[in-house]
């Protein structure tokens, strides 16, 4: 069983993620778990998987992303929803793998080496401060919605 906890999940800086996006590094998926606060901008190419959909969407997400090298989760601040969603993803991936639902049977260490799951430091609030107006990195950005709101 995985030893991952919300407290020990690895983090990725906005700067490092921006560089990966700019260089079009393959094998990276960004999962934005914000609900209604998704309005006003998002990281280019991310998938919006709101937390209220996780009960039925998490197995689908694990199957869809099983061949990706790195999965980046985030919410507005990456303090609760983002890390909790990343942990939920890890546990679902482990459960599905143990049951052979991913077409592979690996032990936990092999799974963890094959796919890195990280949380974006500071979430979208911090991201938009640095990259909100950068159309190479952010889509649908509405600056007025973020001014003094976080």
Q: Is the pLDDT of residue 108 over 60?
A: no
CA distances from 65 to 70, 95, 107 (A): 9, 15, 18
| Residue 6: predicted pLDDT | 81
| Residue 89: predicted pLDDT | 97
Catalytic residues, by residue number, are 75
CATH second-level architecture of 11-141?
3-Layer(aba) Sandwich (3.40)
| Residue 2: predicted pLDDT | 66
Q: How many angstroms separate the CA atoms of 88 and 54, rounded?
A: 9
Q: Is the pLDDT of residue 52 over 90?
A: yes
Closest of 149, 148, 145 to residue 42, by C-alpha = 145
Q: Where are the domains of the chain?
A: 11-141
- At 10 the three-state DSSP class reads coil
């Amino acid at each position: 069983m995985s030893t991952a906890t919300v407290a020990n999940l690895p983090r990725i800086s906005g700067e490092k993620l921006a560089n990966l996006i700019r260089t079009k590094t393959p094998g990276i998926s960004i999962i934005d778990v914000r609900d209604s606060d998704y309005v006003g901008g998002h990281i280019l190419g991310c998938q919006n998987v709101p937390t209220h959909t996780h009960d039925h969407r998490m197995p689908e997400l694990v199957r869809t992303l099983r061949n990706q090298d790195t999965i980046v989760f985030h919410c507005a601040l990456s303090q609760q929803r983002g890390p909790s969603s990343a942990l939920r993803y890890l546990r679902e991936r482990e459960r599905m793998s143990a049951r052979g639902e991913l077409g592979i049977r690996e032990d936990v260490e092999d799974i963890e080496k094959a796919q890195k799951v990280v949380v974006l430091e500071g979430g979208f609030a911090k991201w938009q401060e640095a990259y909100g107006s950068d159309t190479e990195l952010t889509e649908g950005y509405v600056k007025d919605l973020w001014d003094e709101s976080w």
